[in-house]
Amino acid sequence: MWFAKSQKDVLKELSVDPVSGLSEAEAKKRLEQYGLNKLKGKPKKSIIVLFLSQLQDMLIYVLLAAAVITMIINEVTDSIIILLVIVLNAVIGVIQEFKAEKAVEALQKMTTPKSLVRRDSKVFEINSEEVVPGDIIILDAGRYVPADIRLIESANLQIEESALTGESVPSSKDATKIFEDPKTPIGDKANMAFLSTLVTYGRAEGIVVATAMDTEIGKIAKILDEDNNEMTPLQKRLDELGRILGFLAIGICVLIFVIALIQKRDLFEMFLTAISLAVAAIPEGLAAIVAIVLALGVTKMSKINAIVKKLPAVETLGSVNIICSDKTGTLTQNKMTVVKQYTHKNTTDVPVMNTDLTATVDETELIKSLVLCSDATYENGQGTGDPTEIALIILGDKFNLSKNDLNNRHKRMSENPFDSDRKLMSTLNIEGNGYRVHTKGAIDNILKLSTTALVNGQTIPLTDEMKADYLKTAEEMSDSALRVLGVAYKDTDHIISPEIMESDLTVIGLVGMIDPPRLEVKDSIYEAKMAGIRPIMITGDHKNTAVAIAKELGIAESIVQSITGAEIDEISDEEFAARINDYRVFARVSPEHKVKIVRAFKAKGNIVSMTGDGVNDAPSLKYADIGVAMGITGTDVAKGASDMILTDDNFTTIVHAIEEGRNIYNNIKKSVIFLLSCNLGEVIAIFLSILFNWPVPLLATQILWVNLITDSLPAIALGIDPGDHDVMKLKPRNPKESFFAQGSGMKAIVGGILIGLFTLVAFYYGLWEKGYQLGSGTFPEGALTYARTMAFVVLAASQLFYSLSMRSATKSIFKIGLFSNKFLIGSIVIGILLQLVVISIPVLATAFGVHNLSLMDWSIVIGFSLIPFIVNEIIKLFMKSPEHK
């Protein structure tokens, strides 16, 4: 806690003389002791490791078991097909994740290459990696801070720390201050300078107290290094489904053997039949289809300015019910703007966008003095210097009082620079035949130095009543979270020294400025709330400022809904987690607090999205279910730690992405239920035939063909079904909700029974047409092949037509539009053509144990195949629309 110690104590503890600095020998010794001032990252995962990590999935284990069993029974082709599905699934995952983990690399790049250091009584530049604890560092404007430093002397030092603290305005530093409170937030440690922050004004000397991973930035790097790869809701559902299907396949095999023993049937034949049933129970294409649907979703989202780095994150977006957003640069413009100005008894609002504005005499003098008493520049939309001064120059431009024009007419002759003790800055400029002092700064200090006031163009004595008016207005602006700046002037007939500039002043008035909200954010927040999503503001800024912005945007209603980092530290983790839902604004928080907040929300069962752009956001982006980084203003660190990047930095894009995520989950659910209906149909057809001692209607190769080829095309087409616009009128889906919720399980069972029964009906019809009954005992090979062909085609075609009914649980296909998903229509046509090819080409027909059908047979097959689709459409007439609770 270097900030709690005096300069003398720090120098003594680190054994260094500030006049001479470390000796080269001592610096070398410390470099060996502490190592290079360089952030360390964990070893990068190789492609092989990434590939193998994709295989750690229950559904993949089940597929691998199926591949091994089919290999054992010499069905090599089937094994190869299943293995190809597994490889395809893994490759899609690797492609998405290969470039994902760059956060620590970006942190390493942020360290500054050169530093001014004093060693052996000489000042010279060295590589910042060679800086060691105890080094005396010289800081001046425009230079990055090379390590964490305890300042030992400072002059008007201001450091831009927004990437670390989230504050828009540079922090004023004072080496003489000591902070005894051990919980002092980073943004309030005025006697410290931190690695990778930027000096914007003044100069200082300091002693290095922490390097590399021991710095504040280093602590963030450590948090990012921790593995926090929780399973997404979709991965949990698929894992659960994989387990169910795995146990189901084992259970079916055991049951078949029991039936075989009871019926005294050939055990090897029953083993092959059991394998057929196991193959029927497992949707071999499911893992690959889900991966393909997510990959297509990623492509679609990139078109709405959202780049998703990890496939499962697409679906997780659909479950999000809390969006935690950083204030600066995400909800606000990260640009200080003057919104109010006050001259005696006259308050006016300054429009944010308008130009060519007109001002009263007093207001003109107010703006003129503020612009002349500024060192910043602003041209062609680009500003340099202090953000507060840039805001003043923009104010001048709005009233046609440009800095260049004023400087040409009123040349600056002298100045008294800003310092943190006076809290004032003054310049002496030419005014007519004489000179004028322009002073800006804290209004209470200006009033103490003023004797007169400018009212309606006249200089009148400043009374106590008038002073009270100015202070009351300043207080009102402060309560509205505005940063208040007073301004005064003094005329003189000769050039005066800086020491006597700030006396007998004439107060003109004051201005209030704020980092304003982004214009489009308010509507997005309203839309999110309508969709059952709770927006939360997390910021390093002050409580009043944060609450004012939150109220304006509709995030919070009162200051009671806010809490600071210091207040969080005063309560236990359990109490904080219990009260987490009471808060909408978290102010003055550190990176560790952000992670704590995200974890507390997650502990309540919420799916949390965290948005941000600064280095300070990176750990919480990593811990959130969905970390969202800003693509334009975002640091590389934030982008590296996130799951999704917004290329337009627009909060609105998050809401669109959530809508897309909800639709993608619904589509995946359609695909899963469709595939399970199809597989259940196959299981029912085979199981009933065994139970009643009938011939098996389908061969293992035929089932595998249907599962991998015929079913897959409609499943993928369902996965890219056009989204339902009403999806954002529903509350977020419960992440614990099963695939089978909302009646989907019953839909799969009904569909499966219908498909299975009509497959058996087609098989029976095929035998009957050849003159045989199911109880006839033995059947000639020709009759069985014909009957199996009928069953095979009905199974495939009924599944293809049934896919049309899967597009909505409650709306008829004719209400949605039969041709509104052209990919699905195309997949049905291709599926039927593929069935025609298999049974028509002799080589394929022999391989699959089928033969050609007549036109009459085809009409019967199509008739049987349409029945499950028609029945399901009739059921929809009696169903109500679902609601998410």
> Would you please indicate which residues are annotated as catalytic (active-site) residues?
326
For residue 162 the two structure tokens come to 């927004």
| Residue 121: CB atoms within 10 Å | 10
Q: At what angle do helices 651-691 and 267-281 cross, to 10 degrees?
A: 160
- The sign of the dihedral angle between the CA atoms of 134, 136, 140, 146 is negative
Q: At 487, which helix (H) or strand (E)?
A: strand 483-492
Indicate the residue type of 385.
G
101 vs 639: CA distance, rounded Å: 9
Number of helices and strands (H, E) in the chain?
A: 33, 26
Confirm if 357 and 398 have CB atoms less than 8 A apart: yes
Which DSSP state fits 458? E
76 vs 69: CA distance, rounded Å: 10
The residue whose two tokens read 């300069």 is 7
Confirm if 498 and 426 have CB atoms less than 8 A apart: yes
Indicate the residue type of 347.
T
Which DSSP state fits 304? T
Q: SS3 string of 62-80? A: HHHHHHHHHHHCCCHHHHH
The residue whose two tokens read 């007549």 is 854
State the Cα angle at 684 between 678 and 685, rounded to 5°: 90
Pairing between β-strand 505-514 and β-strand 337-343 as defined by DSSP bridges = antiparallel
Helix ranges (H only) for 489-534 are 521-530
12 vs 3: CA distance, rounded Å: 15
Confirm if 343 and 509 have CB atoms less than 8 A apart: yes
Q: At what angle do helices 781-805 and 822-840 cross, to 10 degrees?
A: 180
Confirm if 585 and 546 have CB atoms less than 8 A apart: yes
- The sign of the dihedral angle between the CA atoms of 294, 299, 305, 309 is positive
Work out the end-to-end distance of the chain between its first and last CA atoms, rounded to an integer number of angstroms: 49
User: Across the chain, which distance is largest between two alpha carbons, in Å?
Assistant: 125
595 vs 610: CA distance, rounded Å: 10
Confirm if 507 and 446 have CB atoms less than 8 A apart: yes
740 vs 662: CA distance, rounded Å: 16
The contacts of residue 479 (CB under 8 Å, 6+ apart) are: 544
- CB burial string 834-866: b at 16+ within 10 A, e below: bbeebbeeeeebeebbbeebeeebbebbeebbe
Indicate the residue type of 241.
L
Which DSSP state fits 332? B
Helix ranges (H only) for 605-743 are 618-623, 636-641, 651-691, 700-705, 712-719
Confirm if 388 and 483 have CB atoms less than 8 A apart: yes
The residue whose two tokens read 């599905």 is 85
For residue 316 the two structure tokens come to 């997780």
